[in-house]
Amino acid sequence: MESQIKKIHQQLVSKQITCTALVQEKLELLKQNTYNSVNSLLDTLALDLAAKVDAKIANDEEIGLLEGIPFGIKDVYMVQGTYTTASSDLLKKYKSAYTATAIQKLLDAGAIPLVKENCDSFGHGSSSENTIFGAVKNAINPELVSGGSSGGSAVNVAKEYTVFSIGGDTGGSVRQPAGYNNIYGLKPSYGRISRYGLMAYASSTDCVGPLAKSIEDIRIVLNVMSGKDGRDQTSYVSEEISEASVLESKEIKTVGYFKNFIESEAIAPQVKADFLASIEKIKAKGIEVKELDFFKSDTLVSTYYTLAMAETASNLSRLDGTNYGNRIEGENLKDTYSITRSENFSEETKRRIVGGNQVLSQGFSDAIYLKGLALRDQISANFDKDFKEVDVILSPVTPASPPKIGDSLNDPLAMYLSDAYTVGFSLGQLPTLTVPQGTVTGMQVTAAKNNDATVLKFANFLKDTL
C-alpha cells in the first residue's frame, strides 16, 4: 500500500478534505467500533488541533507532512491531561501529568492524537484479553484475538480508524499483533526512541514502536520519534533514514533463517510451507540464503520471561496506591499496599510480579536470574556472530494463526510459548519489522543493532518480491 500519510497530506493541502472532517470521521468510526480497540477518545483535543490545521491551510500557510494526520496511542503512554490506564483497575482514573517524549515529538510535528488504545494490562499478555476494557477482537476475524499486547493499536490501523498508531514492544507486543492483523509493525533498535513517558514493563527490552499500513509511513514516523533524550539515558543519536535509501536494497546479498524455528514441532504446517516458499522466491532473486543455528525456543522464552518478570516486579512495585491509583484503605500502611495491589492487578500481572520476586529472592537469583542474564549474553553473542555472515535474518512472526478469544487466558504457558519467535530479537535489542507477507501472520525482518534502515530496505524488497 502507498503512504497514507502522504496521500492525506496531499488531500489536505489541495483542500479536497478538511482536517476537521477527517478527524470527525475517524472519531465516529472509533466511537462506533465493536472491536474493543478504544479505552478513551481524545475528541476535544483532536478537534481543537484539527481546527488549527484548517486555519493554517485556509491562510495558505505551509503545513508539515504529519500536520493534521490522525493517530492512535497505546494506553501506556503519558499524554498530559489524558487518562492513562494501562488497561488496569489500578490506574483506571489516573491522569497523565506530563507527555511522553515520543508522543511529544509527534505532537510537535502536528500529528493529531485521537485515541488511547486498548492493550493487555501493563503490556502483560500476547492476546489483548488481559484488560478491563474487554478483549480486543481481531480485525480480520472478530472471533479471534487481536494479538498483544498492542492489540487495540494494530486493529485501529488495520481498520483504518487511525492512520498510524504507537504501540510498545517488550517481547513482541508490536510485531505479533501487526502479524495477526496483517499490517506493518516495527520494534526499532533498543534506545533509538526515548522510553520517557512509556509505562515501564521490562526496562531492558521496552521499545516504542509504530504500526502502519505501509513501510513509508513507518519510516516517516520512526524518523520523527527517534533521537537522544536526556530523560532516557539509554537513548542515542541516530541518523535520519531517507526515502531514497529505503528504495535501494542491492547491498543486501545474504539472508539467514533459524533452522530450528522451522523444524520445530510447534510450527503449523501451513506457516512452515509458506515461509519456505517465500525463502525460495528470495533465492530466485539471486540472494544467498543461509540456514543458521539458534537457541531452542523454550530457552528463548524462559530467558525472556525470567528477565521480564524480574524487571516488571521491580517496576510495578511503585504502584501501591499511595500517591495515585485506586487506593483501597486497610488497617495500616502495609495492609493498604497489599489490599490495593491484590484487588487492582489482574491475575496475569500478579503471576508475573510473583514470578519476578521469586527469581530475585535470595537462593533463587543465582540459579535463575543470574543464569538468565548469562544466557541473554550468549544469545546476543550468537546474533553478533550471525550478522557477520548475513545481512538480514528472516523469521515467521508466530508459529500459528491467532487463537480464539478465551483460549489464551486458560493456558498461560501456551501463551508464553507462542512468543517463541519474537522474544529472542528483543533480548538482542535488535531492529525487527513485521511485514504482512510470507505467512498467514507475516514475517519478521531483523538486522544488526542500529541497522534499522536495512530492515526497511529489505521489507521494501519483499513487497515487490513476494
Partner 1 sequence: MSKIMTVDVLSSIKGAKPSEAVNQLFDVIKNAHPTNNNAAVNVHNNAVSLDDLREDVVIESSAIEKQIIIENFPNEKDGYLVVAKVIED
Nearer to partner 1, 242 or 322 (CB): 322
> Does the footprint of partner 1 cover residue 33 (CB under 8 A)?
no
Nearer to partner 1, 13 or 97 (CB): 97
Q: Which helix (H) or strand (E) holds 274?
A: helix 269-284
- Angstrom CA distances, 118 to 27, 72, 76, 153, 263, stand at 15, 10, 9, 7, 35
How far is Cα 163 from Cα 118, in angstroms, rounded to an integer?
Answer: 17
> Does the footprint of partner 1 cover residue 401 (CB under 8 A)?
no
Nearer to partner 1, 155 or 415 (CB): 415
> Does the footprint of partner 1 cover residue 118 (CB under 8 A)?
no
**168 - beta bridge partners?**
208
How far is Cα 121 from Cα 201, in angstroms, rounded to an integer?
Answer: 10
Is 74 tagged catalytic? yes
> Which is the catalytic residue, given 3, 26, 74, 121?
74
Site for partner 1 in 269-298 (CB under 8 A): 298
How far is Cα 254 from Cα 143, in angstroms, rounded to an integer?
Answer: 39
User: Shortest CA distance to 68 belongs to which of 48, 40, 83?
Assistant: 48
How far is Cα 346 from Cα 200, in angstroms, rounded to an integer?
Answer: 17
Tallying the residues shown for the chain, one arrives at 466
> Does the footprint of partner 1 cover residue 302 (CB under 8 A)?
yes
Site for partner 1 in 63-82 (CB under 8 A): 80-81
Site for partner 1 in 406-445 (CB under 8 A): 411-413, 416, 429
Nearer to partner 1, 155 or 359 (CB): 359
The residue within the footprint of partner 1, chosen from 350, 400, 451, 465 (CB under 8 A), is 350
- Find the shortest distance in angstroms from Cβ 97 to partner 1: 4
- Find the shortest distance in angstroms from Cβ 335 to partner 1: 8
Is 173 tagged catalytic? yes
> Does the footprint of partner 1 cover residue 306 (CB under 8 A)?
yes
Binding mask 308-337 for partner 1 (x = CB under 8 A): -x---x---x--xxxxxxxx-xx-xxxxxx
Helix, strand, coil shares of the chain, percent, nearest 5, are 45, 15, 40
> Does the footprint of partner 1 cover residue 207 (CB under 8 A)?
no
> Which is the catalytic residue, given 87, 127, 149, 278?
149
Q: Provide the H-helix boundaries in 162-268.
A: 175-180, 215-225, 243-247, 259-263
> Does the footprint of partner 1 cover residue 372 (CB under 8 A)?
yes
- Find the shortest distance in angstroms from Cβ 90 to partner 1: 11
> Does the footprint of partner 1 cover residue 191 (CB under 8 A)?
yes
Nearer to partner 1, 270 or 378 (CB): 378
Cell of 10: 496531499
Is 350 tagged catalytic? no
How far is Cα 64 from Cα 112, in angstroms, rounded to an integer?
Answer: 12
User: Shortest CA distance to 287 belongs to which of 250, 257, 246?
Assistant: 250
Binding mask 224-263 for partner 1 (x = CB under 8 A): ------xx-xx-----------------------------
Strands 288-292 and 207-212: unpaired
Sign of dihedral through CA atoms 324, 327, 329, 330? Answer: negative
User: Shortest CA distance to 225 belongs to which of 105, 125, 321?
Assistant: 105
- Angstrom CA distances, 162 to 77, 211, 326, stand at 17, 10, 31
Count of residues in contact with partner 1, rule CB under 8 A: 74
- Find the shortest distance in angstroms from Cβ 374 to partner 1: 4
> Does the footprint of partner 1 cover residue 13 (CB under 8 A)?
no
Site for partner 1 in 377-396 (CB under 8 A): 377-378, 380-381, 384
> Which is the catalytic residue, given 173, 249, 278, 346?
173
Mind telling me the catalytic residues? 74, 149, 173
